[in-house]
């Protein structure tokens, strides 16, 4: 795009926002106007005939002339100031260049938090909201290890897999982007309020939807194209047969991004979608190497691979119990049988281990090793 | 019964201290089977108890032919469609309800959240006073209602939360809504919660060893004896009946145990409200161990029997 930096920054953002907020102006019409008129302020001043000559429908041209806004742009900017949020326009240096490659890129992004790094190597991790313990652990671990290697993690801050993808990156002191399907001031789901704050401090939250946009089923697939569009590859951890994660994966394919999938148990409905992807040619992922390999990146083997020794000192009983635990949940009766300890001993020891953070108790009296 | 080691241990504790218990488990996990075996590990009825039970059945008109003394502890399992009158008694003249028919025995409520709210509410008073007062035009009758409440429920609406073979399809909100159907005050009167896993066909069909094995019964009897001795000047018989003053006297905790409870409250989301429940269970566990003092292991085990107080984790 050419010659837009002639007005001061906030004026510029005001015009961009104004044009975007006009009823009927979507991303593709906006880009057309930008191409023809050079900048949004010029498009806003153009008369109806010029707009129609540019290939804009008459009713939308009228809306532009009448300044028929969905939301008052001035109010919107005031709101953003209060929230300490900013707008990243299509021509802003912060706008991820990889996102311009896709069909219908968002012409502007509302953003909160840190600056989006320039030299991005983003990997998206997405999956089911109603995920299993296995899926959440896989998402968290892989995210953690990718983030440790300096790779940025993108996800949608939904329940389940998304939440753990962000958590893994944050745990590794890494950078993560949450792409919302709601307004920048709407935290959804509510229980992720804490996570929202953490991402805001250590990453970036972006959305293309105006402030106050409530969670709405139809917006999430629209958002998903940004998740895949901003990333070099998309890892699907758990997904049912017809799910949003599969929509993200198909966006990724159309956008020329790599698609990865984590396998699950063959009888789990939560893995039907990922198995479908693998059958279609998505790469099966067991560990981060499987992802990095596709991009020609190699990491040294010497790292702490799969060494899950607890850091705390264990008593003899605790050791005995720890040995029969696994990374998949084990039922208390199995622990009792294989340790040959008293049920009472096992229960009280497990509570202490739980409080030390070595094990985790799941519904159904199931216990798993707690991975840091 | 084979398997269910954890559940069996919990039942032993429940019977020893006469604690009410709630079993949470998927359909077909054998919750009913476990419940039915509870009377077999309860101490045999005394002559007075047998007489009392026989009297109630006689008033209810349910004495079966022979007319002799009822010597087996009753086990009542009313269906969840029961009315409040059916549960606590009523009519003219007032006849005993299920809670009185279960006197000196077990009242088993399967599918607890399916019971009508008012039916569960009328249970609260008899659970506290251990008898029920029914007043009808001109007549007032008091029937005993000393029963052990054994309740069962699915872990979630679809029944498969925590199951390793089937996948649970419920959302967190659905699960919370399902669980909130049981009112807090009723839940407060249930000391132990346990989770019962689904059993494989093999485990179900293998020869039953019976939790009513002699050793368990002996341990229960010994624990009851300890309690009788302890409470002989206090008008109560079992740990579950302890009031605040008794707790202060008989459930002193050492520093280690206190800090364990504090940790559990902080890290596991257990509410401080259940402190006295934990103390009562810990007291019974210590009695089973024939230990005068409540030790930290007893407290740790007791905390594990408060599942519904924990934050829901996945």
Q: CA B108, CA B225: separation in Å to the nearest integer?
A: 25
Sign of the CA dihedral with A341 first, then A342, A347, and A348 last? negative
Residues A282 and A183 both lie in one domain = yes
Q: DSSP states of B225-237 as a string?
A: HHHHHHTTTTT--
Q: pLDDT, tens digit, for every residue of A186-228?
A: 999 988 999 999 999 999 999 999 999 999 999 999 999 999 9
Place of tokens 């409905």: A269
Which stretches within B231-308 are classed as H helix?
A: 244-250, 255-268, 275-288, 296-304
Q: State pTM to two decimals.
A: 0.66
Could you count the other beta carbons within 10 Å of the beta carbon of residue A371? 12
- Give residue for tokens 């007043």: B135
What pLDDT does residue B200 have?
57
Query: Are A290 and A323 in a shared domain?
Result: no
| Cβ–Cβ gap A364/B268 under 8 Å | no
The verdict on A130 and A175 lying in the same domain is: yes
What CA–CA distance (Å, rounded) separates B134 from B305?
34
Query: Which structural domain range is residue A53 located in?
Result: 1-82
The reply to whether domains B20-190 and B239-309 share a CATH topology is no
CA pair distance A312, A356, nearest whole angstrom: 8
Does residue A311 lie within any of the structural domains?
no
Collect all residues with Cβ–Cβ distance below 8 Å to B185 and sequence separation of at least 6.
B124
Partner residue facing B313 (CB), from A130, A332, A362? A362
Confidence class of residue A311 from pLDDT cuts 50, 70 and 90?
low
Positions of chain B with pLDDT lower than 50, given as ranges = 1, 207-208, 211, 314
By Cβ distance, the residue of A133, A343, A355 closest to B6 is A343
pLDDT at A95 over 60: yes
Distance CA A251, CA A227 (A): 9
Q: Is residue A4 assigned to a domain?
A: yes
> Is residue A280 domain-resident?
yes
What span, in angstroms and rounded, lies between the C-alpha atoms of A184 and A166? 17
Which chain A residue has the Cα nearest residue B296?
A348
Q: Is the pLDDT of residue A371 over 70?
A: no
Residue of A344, A359, A366 to mutate, testing the B interface (most B Cβ within 10 Å of its Cβ) = A344
Q: In what order do the strands lie in the sheet with A330-331?
A: A330-331, A366-369, A359-362
Same domain (yes/no): A120, A72: no
Residue B206: per-residue pLDDT: 52
- Give the CATH class of B20-190: alpha beta
B93: nearest Cα among B31, B50, B135: B135
**Confidence grade of residue A301 (pLDDT, cut at 50, 70, 90):** low
Chain A residue at shortest CA distance from B29 = A364
**pLDDT value of residue B31:** 87
Q: What is the pLDDT of residue A206?
A: 96
Question: Do A355 and B260 make contact, defined as CB atoms within 8 angstroms?
Answer: yes
Examine the domain organization and report whether A270 and A339 are in the same domain. no
Residue ending a domain, choose from A230, A262, A294: A294
The answer on A118 and A67 residing in a single domain is no
Does residue A102 fall inside a structural domain? no
Predicted pLDDT at B272:
65
Contact assignment for A351 to B195 by CB distance below 8 Å? no
pLDDT digits (tens, 9 = 90+) for B276-294: 889 999 999 999 999 999 9
On the question of pLDDT at A302 being above 50, the answer is: no
Give residue-wise pLDDT tens across range A315-352: 888 888 888 887 778 888 888 888 888 888 888 888 88
Nearest residue on chain A to B298, alpha-carbon basis = A348
CATH class belonging to B239-309: mainly alpha
The answer to whether B288 and B12 have CB atoms below 8 angstroms apart is yes
Task: Show the tokens assigned to B199.
Answer: 């059993």
- Test B6 with A332 for CB contact under 8 angstroms: yes
Residue B6 has its nearest CB partner, among A130, A269, A336, at: A336
Q: Structural domain tally of chain A?
A: 3
According to DSSP, the residues that pair with B264 across neighbouring strands are none
**Chain A residue at shortest CA distance from B7:** A333
Are both A123 and A35 inside the same structural domain?
no
Is residue A179 within 8 A of residue A158, CB to CB? The reply is no
Q: Which of A242, A260, A294 delimits the end of a domain?
A: A294
Residue A212 lies in a domain: yes
Mean pLDDT confidence for A114-134: 89
Which residue, chain included where needed, has tokens 């993108």? A154
Query: Can you tell me the mean pLDDT for A308-316?
Result: 69
* Domain residue limits, chain B: 20-190, 239-309
CATH of the domain at A63: 1.10.150
pLDDT in the model for residue A185: 95
Across the A:B interface, residue pairs with CB atoms under 8 Å apart total 92
Given an 8 Å threshold on Cβ–Cβ distance, is B195 in contact with A363? Answer: yes
| 3-class DSSP assignment, residue A16 | helix
Closest CA in chain B for residue A344: B301
Residue A91 domain flag: no
Q: What residues of B are in contact with residue A337 (Cβ under 8 Å)?
A: 5
Q: Are strands B148-153 and B21-24 parallel, antiparallel or unpaired?
A: parallel
Tell me: do A230 and A329 sit in the same domain. Answer: no
Angle A3-A208-A260 (CA atoms, 0-180°, nearest 5)?
110
Task: Find out whether B230 and B181 touch, Cβ atoms under 8 Å.
Answer: no
pLDDT, position A152: 94
In a domain, A98, yes or no: no
Q: Cβ A365–B297 below 8 Å, yes or no?
A: no
Token digits of residue A252: 């990724």
Among A127, A332, A349, A363, the residue to mutate for chain B (most B Cβ within 10 A): A363
| Pairing between β-strand B95-96 and β-strand B139-144 as defined by DSSP bridges | unpaired
Tally of CB atoms within 10 A around B111: 14
In this structure, are A340 and A203 located in the same domain? no
CATH number at residue A338: 1.10.10.10
Q: Scanning the structure block, which residue is given the tokens 């089923």?
A: A217
Residue A191 shares a structural domain with residue A130: yes
Give the model's pLDDT for residue A310.
57
Q: What chain B residue is nearest to A331 in terms of C-alpha separation?
A: B197
Higher pLDDT, B62 or A78: A78
Query: φ, ψ for residue A283 (rounded to 5)?
Result: -80, 130
Residues of B in contact with A345 (CB under 8 A): 297
DSSP secondary structure letters along A167-235: HHHHHTT--EEEE-SS-TT--SSGGGHHHHHHHHHHEEEEESSPTTPPP-TTHHHHHHHHHHHT-SEEE
Q: How far is A35 from chain B, CA to nearest CA, in Å?
A: 47
pLDDT score of A70 more than 50: yes
Give the pair of three-digit tokens for residue B192: 């132990």
Domain assignment present for A22: yes
């Amino acid at each position: 795009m050419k010659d837009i930096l002639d007005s001061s920054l906030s004026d510029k953002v005001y015009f961009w926002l104004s044009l975007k907020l006009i009823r009927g102006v979507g991303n593709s019409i906006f880009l057309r106007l930008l191409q023809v008129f050079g900048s949004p302020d010029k498009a806003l001043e153009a008369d109806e005939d010029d707009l129609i000559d540019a290939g804009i429908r008459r009713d939308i041209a009228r809306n532009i002339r009448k300044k028929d806004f969905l939301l008052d742009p001035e109010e919107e900017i005031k709101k953003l100031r209060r929230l300490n949020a900013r707008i990243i326009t299509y021509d802003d240096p912060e706008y991820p260049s990889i996102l311009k490659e896709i069909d219908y890129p968002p012409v502007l992004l509302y953003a909160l938090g840190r600056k989006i790094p320039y030299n991005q190597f983003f990997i998206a991790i997405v999956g089911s909201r109603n995920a299993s313990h296995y899926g959440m652990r896989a998402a968290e671990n892989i995210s953690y290890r990718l983030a440790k290697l300096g790779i940025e993690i993108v996800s949608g801050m939904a329940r389940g897999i998304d939440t753990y993808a962000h958590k893994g990156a944050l745990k590794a002191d890494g950078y993560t982007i949450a792409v919302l399907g709601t307004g920048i001031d709407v935290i959804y789901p509510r229980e992720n309020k804490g996570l929202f704050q953490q991402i805001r401090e250590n990453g970036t939250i972006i959305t293309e939807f105006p402030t106050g946009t409530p969670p709405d089923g139809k917006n999430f697939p629209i958002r998903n194209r940004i998740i895949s569009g901003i990333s070099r590859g998309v890892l699907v951890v758990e997904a049912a047969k017809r799910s949003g994660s599969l929509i993200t994966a198909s966006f990724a394919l159309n956008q020329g991004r790599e698609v990865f999938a984590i396998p699950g148990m063959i009888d789990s409905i939560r893995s039907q979608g990922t198995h479908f992807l693998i059958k279609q040619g998505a790469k099966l992922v067991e560990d981060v190497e499987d992802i990095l390999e596709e991009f020609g990146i190699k990491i040294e083997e010497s790292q702490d691979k799969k060494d899950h020794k607890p850091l705390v000192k264990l008593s003899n009983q605790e050791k005995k119990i720890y040995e029969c635990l696994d990374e998949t949940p084990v039922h208390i009766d199995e622990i009792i049988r294989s340790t040959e300890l008293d049920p009472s001993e096992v229960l009280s020891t497990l509570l202490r281990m739980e409080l030390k953070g070595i094990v985790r108790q799941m519904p159904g009296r199931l216990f798993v090793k707690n991975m840091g | 019964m084979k398997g269910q080691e954890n559940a069996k241990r919990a039942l032993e504790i429940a019977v020893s201290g006469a604690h009410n218990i709630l079993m949470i488990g998927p359909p077909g996990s054998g919750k009913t089977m476990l419940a039915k075996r509870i009377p077999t590990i309860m101490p045999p009825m005394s002559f007075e108890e047998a007489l009392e039970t026989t009297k109630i059945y006689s008033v209810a008109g349910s004495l079966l032919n022979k007319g002799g003394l009822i010597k087996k502890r009753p086990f009542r399992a009313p269906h969840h469609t029961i009315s409040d009158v059916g549960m606590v008694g009523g009519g003219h003249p007032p006849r005993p309800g299920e809670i009185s028919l279960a006197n000196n025995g077990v009242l088993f409520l399967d599918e607890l959240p399916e019971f009508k709210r008012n039916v569960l509410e009328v249970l609260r008073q008899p659970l506290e006073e251990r008898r029920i007062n029914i007043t009808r035009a001109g007549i007032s009758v008091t029937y005993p209602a000393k029963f052990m409440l054994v309740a069962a429920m699915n872990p979630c609406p679809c029944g498969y939360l925590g199951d390793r073979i089937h996948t649970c399809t419920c959302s967190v909100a659905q699960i919370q809504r399902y669980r909130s159907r049981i009112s807090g005050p009723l839940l407060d009167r249930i000391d132990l919660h346990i989770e019962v896993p689904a059993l494989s066909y093999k485990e179900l069909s293998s020869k039953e060893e019976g939790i009513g094995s002699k050793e368990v019964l002996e341990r229960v009897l010994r624990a009851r004896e300890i309690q009788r001795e302890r409470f002989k000047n206090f008008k109560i018989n079992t740990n579950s009946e302890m009031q605040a003053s008794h707790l202060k006297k008989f459930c002193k905790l050492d520093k280690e145990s206190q800090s364990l409870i504090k940790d559990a409250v902080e890290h596991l989301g257990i509410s401080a409200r259940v402190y006295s429940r934990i103390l009562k269970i810990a007291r019974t566990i210590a009695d089973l161990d024939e230990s005068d003092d409540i030790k930290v292991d007893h407290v740790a085990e007791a905390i594990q029997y408060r599942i519904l107080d924990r934050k829901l984790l996945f």
